[in-house]
Chain A
Amino acid sequence: MFDTLKMKLYQKKQYIPDIKNAPMRSQFRGLPVLDNSNCDKCGMCKGICPTGALNINPLSIDLSKCTLCGACKNICKNNSINFSSYYKLGVDKKEKLIVTEGLDSETYHKRAIEVRKEIYSIFNRSIKFRQVSAGGCNGCEMELNAAGNANFDMGRFGIDFVASPRHADGIVITGPITKNMAYALEDCYKSTPEPRIVVLCGACALSGGVFQEANEINREFLDKYKVDLYIPGCPVHPLTFINAVLDFIRKK
């Protein structure tokens, strides 16, 4: 008992007080920064990109496919591709994930998630999710778990993962959606009470990511149902996830 208390004192406070402005290490690869001016259109970056996220002429990166692996930056001789450590990358429409030259973090974030009045009035700042891993590699799953740990502690904002879809306001999907999980995913979705928020987490869920051309995936679910939030990353950083959800349920 006393040992446990001593341990607690030794640990001190661990949580990040201001989650919206939490500092991020500069090495983190977040929002891409593109510069066409010295790009000589050699196409090396496009050639090395494993997911087809990158286009040249002019340079653009589709964050629904991008794994933020940094390979394009490493291969570019002209320093045309860089990554800032900006992590608030979640958006409500897929088109908003295309990053082009001159898109700074402020502009990106301002248009990222529109306020929907009914969301606040229904959820009143608290939202519970059922997480479904449908071929996720356990990278995104570990980061979503981390979002609830003592550092990030999303529970204090009323965001939680619950065990049953019946208790959930929506589902968070990770992974490219395998054929073998397609049925269970839809079943889970249907078991969630309306209005059934759908959140996609990670490059795999957003576009298939590195598994776009795999034989055993089936993404029909996404043709059938509406998605409310797209959160890019590979894996999604806990701060990216929490901030996207907070923006989504905020009040005007």
Chain B
Amino acid sequence: MDYYIMKNNQRINLLDIPTVDFGVLRAQLAATNLRPVSFFGSDWGQNIKLFVVLADDEKGDLLVSSALVDKNVKEYESIAKDNHQYHMFEREFYEQFNIKPLAHPWLKPVRKNQDNYEFFEMEGEETHQVAVGPIHAGVIEPGHFRFMCQGEKVYNLEIMLGYQHRGVEDLMVKKPSNQLAESICGDSVIAYNMAYSQVMEELCGMEITLRAKLIRRIALEMERVAIHIGDLGAILGDIAYLMGKEVYGVTRTLVINTMLEISGSRFGRGLITVGGVNFDINNELSKKIVDTLDGVKNTVEKMTKVTLKSSTVMSRLEKTGNVSKEVAEELNLVGMIGRSCGINLDSRFDFCDEFYKDFERKSFKATNDAYSRFKIRYKEIIESILFIKKFLKKLQDCETEKLCVEKKDLIPNSFALSIVEGWRGELVHVATTDGEGRLSRYKIKDPSFNNWYGLSMAVRNNGISDFPLCNKGFDLSYCGFDL
């Protein structure tokens, strides 16, 4: 097969990426069992260039290939028809470049034209539709859910998004900044800013210091801990176990207030910049972080024990919203949700991040239901706290290092990619530069891009009243998807 093999966080020359015939590429993709992590078009003079990145998770390799699509080509044979993992990617490509995948099983709008969206419908006795959104009951982002129900039971859920679409990818080319990267998806500030900064550093050929790398990873794990704890509370809130909701809620406050002490923002805004980080963690602060996290761990352990002993909680969590491993694999579910379905993907380990290689990769006994999504969070909180402590210890070895290195210019004709395991899962940023060294394309794939469809599958054949519980368990991003 015709691919250029690269690693995570690497820059390659655009000209090194093989360009094959569109039909050949299509056939290759339909046949391979490597999963796609990026699939996007880019304006190429008069024509369009289609880039594809596949992941070989076992080897930690990323395989890049491309095809030049003549501007006169207006349709092609869909890949998704043979390989469902391309279903969203092809819809997106069609929306952005108007090249139609023929025989695509589910060709619907992604972020635009909601007025023309045709919902799946069914008829019969006891069948009815429930439409929810875009504005939901709580303080959350907008999206539209259309349930096809038979009585109380959900037969199908269709999710129409796009309400948050701000045009981020174009804006990233026009006016890139760390602040913009942080605001693409404000619950994953660190993950997004880290991916953006890493891509830009690669494109400029900058090597940042060990200290900066460590501080970034400490923040990334803190983000995971904070959001996971908040989510445990939110899940319990949705099944009216208020004690748990409040205890996890205030415990999360401790973590984000520690983030505030590091960076001046509860979500770590302003911490990461292209070239390194803006704030240091000195020994005193480091001790404080360890103390706080010890307390947090203690509370989380206690609360989780009490929660899982409660039969009312367990009866709601267990066997609710099942997604089998087969379905999860077919849909290419990633990240924490993937792991809760038994798919052992974790880009921190799969793509050989040197900082994680010493850590033991503990297995997780997935039960594929709401309980599994609760337990995986608990496991990851405890794990991340351990990682943070180890990183903090390592910080002492590089006390004298600079936080931030000098900025450089972008290197022309480059292609760079960065995958960061945010708390939701693999976040992929890809950028290219043109012959003059300007950004020419910026592509983002949030883990939610893969996982929204998983939520639809989870609620099938469940009571509609279990939807909030399933939704919180997935806790997917609207703005990360809509961009």
Point out residues on A near B: beta carbons under 8 Å.
Answer: 3-4, 6-8, 10-11, 14, 25, 27-29, 50-51, 67-71, 74, 83, 130-146, 149-151, 161, 163-164, 175-176, 178-181, 184, 188, 204, 209-211, 213-217, 234-235, 237
A96 to B177, CA, bound (A): 27
- Cβ of B362: which chain A residues have Cβ within 8 Å of it? none
Q: Are A184 and B260 in contact (CB under 8 A)?
A: no
Q: Are A149 and B253 in contact (CB under 8 A)?
A: yes
Q: Are B171 and A235 in contact (CB under 8 A)?
A: no
Residue of B163, B184, B278, B306 near A74 (CB, 8 A) is B278
A145's nearest neighbour on chain B, judged by CB, is B139
Q: Are A132 and B260 in contact (CB under 8 A)?
A: no
- Cβ of B265: which chain A residues have Cβ within 8 Å of it? 28-29, 68
- Cβ of A135: which chain B residues have Cβ within 8 Å of it? 163-166, 479
Closest 4 CB pairs of A and B: A139-B186, A137-B186, A163-B137, A216-B167
- Residue with the highest number of chain A CB atoms closer than 10 Å, among B243, B253, B265, B309: B265
Point out residues on B near A: beta carbons under 8 Å.
Answer: 111-112, 114, 134-135, 137-142, 162-168, 170-171, 174-175, 177-180, 183-187, 189, 230, 243, 246-247, 249-250, 253, 257, 260-267, 269-270, 273, 278, 299, 302-303, 305-306, 309-310, 477-479
Shortest beta-carbon distance, B424 to chain A, in Å?
Answer: 12
A230 to B114, CA, bound (A): 31
Shortest beta-carbon distance, A74 to chain B, in Å?
Answer: 6
A11 to B136, CA, bound (A): 32
Shortest beta-carbon distance, B84 to chain A, in Å?
Answer: 27
Given contacts A214-B168, A237-B266, 8 further A-B contacts (CB under 8 A): A4-B306, A135-B163, A135-B165, A135-B166, A161-B139, A178-B165, A181-B142, A215-B167
8 CB contacts below 8 A, A to B, read A27-B260, A29-B270, A141-B186, A142-B267, A163-B137, A213-B174, A215-B167, A234-B269
A163 to B174, CA, bound (A): 38
Q: A135-B479, A138-B478, A149-B249 are in contact. Are A70 and B270 (CB under 8 A)?
A: yes
Q: Are B165 and A138 in contact (CB under 8 A)?
A: no
Q: A11-B250, A27-B260, A178-B166 are in contact. Are A50 and B180 (CB under 8 A)?
A: yes
- Residue with the highest number of chain A CB atoms closer than 10 Å, among B179, B189, B257: B179
Q: Are A137 and B184 in contact (CB under 8 A)?
A: yes
A51 to B253, CA, bound (A): 29
B259's nearest neighbour on chain A, judged by CB, is A27
Q: Are A184 and B270 in contact (CB under 8 A)?
A: no
Q: A133-B141, A137-B186 are in contact. Are A7 and B306 (CB under 8 A)?
A: yes
- Cβ of B303: which chain A residues have Cβ within 8 Å of it? 7
Shortest beta-carbon distance, B228 to chain A, in Å?
Answer: 14
A136 to B180, CA, bound (A): 13
A146's nearest neighbour on chain B, judged by CB, is B253
Q: Are B137 and A70 in contact (CB under 8 A)?
A: no
- Residue with the highest number of chain A CB atoms closer than 10 Å, among B162, B164, B269, B305: B164
- Cβ of A71: which chain B residues have Cβ within 8 Å of it? 178-179, 270, 273
A24 to B303, CA, bound (A): 28
Shortest beta-carbon distance, A47 to chain B, in Å?
Answer: 11
Q: Are B142 and A184 in contact (CB under 8 A)?
A: yes
- Cβ of B141: which chain A residues have Cβ within 8 Å of it? 133, 136, 138, 141
Residue of A8, A11, A29, A217 near B264 (CB, 8 A) is A29
- Cβ of A25: which chain B residues have Cβ within 8 Å of it? 257, 260-261
Q: Are A210 and B186 in contact (CB under 8 A)?
A: no
Residue of A4, A14, A142 near B187 (CB, 8 A) is A142
- Cβ of A237: which chain B residues have Cβ within 8 Å of it? 266
A133 to B134, CA, bound (A): 10
Q: Are B306 and A150 in contact (CB under 8 A)?
A: no
- Residue with the highest number of chain B CB atoms closer than 10 Å, among A11, A130, A161, A188: A11
B141's nearest neighbour on chain A, judged by CB, is A133
